Structure 1
Amino acid sequence: MRISVDPERCYGSGDCVYRLPSVFTVVGGFGAVIPGWEEAAETGDEARVRAAAEGCPSQAISVSG
């Protein structure tokens, strides 16, 4: 699974971090994917990542794979 946050679209609501702090963080006031999140991922995180992407108010999160 590949996850990215478009910095041009993100306005820093922090919703992704609230939903899934093991995968997302805030850097410079904007959402970002934690490097190496795959190692920290728990069972079921794939569905939670997709839910965070769908719930992103700025639609800045992309998920593929």
Structure 2
Amino acid sequence: MGGSRWPLMARAVETPIEVILKRRLYAKETWIAIAGLAVYLALTEFLPILFDSFTSNHKTTPLESND
């Protein structure tokens, strides 16, 4: 129900609202999952690499002098 291999065209009007709302819900769930994965990867994979490269480039603290 609500799905076929061909373009909707006139059948788009006949598609039940429940099917449309369910598809929208699945789309939102997918984007939330993708955003969660992006945040997880940023915190666990990319942030440690950036932090390590930042700390290796800046061995002195801003309060120390380079004299």
TM-score by length of 1: 0.24
Larger radius of gyration: 2
Higher strand share: 1
Q: Which has the higher contact order (CA 8 A, sep 6+)?
A: 1
Q: TM-score of the superposition, structure 2-length normalised?
A: 0.24
